[in-house]
Amino acid sequence: MPINFSLHQNNLNTETTQFRAVVHSSGTMDYEQIVERVVKQNSTVTRSDVMAALNDFFAAIEDALLLGYNVNTPVANFRASIKGGFDSELDGFTAGRNTVEASISPGPRLRKTMQDAQVQKQESSERLPRPLYYTDLNSGELNGPITPGGMGQLTGHRLRFDPADPTQGIFFINGSVTRVSIAGKNDPSELMFLVPATLTPGDYALEVRAASNGTLQIGLLKKTLTVS
């Protein structure tokens, strides 16, 4: 079974990438379930045998950490760390201000296992319209200029709307809200429309508003558009 993921806008973007991957969990396995999987994989051991061996394994790691050792295993590496600040070199450990914690990082076996993982991209579970790219067809430029009275193209996901509902559609916003009245193409992944000729010079946000399960959903183009 692959690891499923979807791409989401990176709103904390300090890098050149605009999107981040979000992994879709298949669920959560607790300690008891892992023990059951071990038992099923080896018919010569009982559940009690596995529990006893694992408890001894955990206790040995804990004892080593309390003695100040780092512990490296194939699955994870463990070490002790101290959190909290100190006022000077003469300052000591103060309970409440300082804490001793365990730091854990992947071991070599786990790192290799994850490198070999199979992944599968899925559509985002968000139901909002996702306008991604606006093309001013008069100039051919992307995510920038608007030509009033010209043709515009918007691509993305879940863009289709009901043109008969005045609360849905394509909206240009710069303090006032102007709804597109003529849309020639109204598909989930592409909208083609006549840009309102009444748009005045300035910067605009572009929204797509569409109903999903009776609820109006609003998707915002992340780029600011401009009428010169």
Which residue ranges make up each domain of the chain? 3-121, 130-227
**Architecture per CATH, 130-227:** Distorted Sandwich (2.70)
Query: Is 59's pLDDT higher than 90?
Result: yes
Topology alike, domains 3-121 and 130-227: no
- CA 96 to chain centroid, in Å, comes to 35
* pLDDT reported for residue 179: 97
Query: Is 124's pLDDT higher than 90?
Result: no
H or E element at residue 114: helix 108-115
Query: What fold, for 3-121?
Result: HU Protein; Chain A (4.10.520)
Cut 0.85: pTM above it: no
**Paired residues of 110 in beta bridges:** none
Q: Identify the band that residue 12 occupies on the pLDDT scale cut at 50, 70 and 90.
A: low
Percent share of the chain, pLDDT over 70: 94
d(CA 42, CA 223): 56
**Whole-Å CA distances, 216 to 6, 156, 160, 195:** 23, 18, 12, 23
Query: Is 19's pLDDT higher than 80?
Result: no
The residue among 161, 174, 157, 152 whose CA lies nearest residue 224 is 174
d(CA 100, CA 98): 7
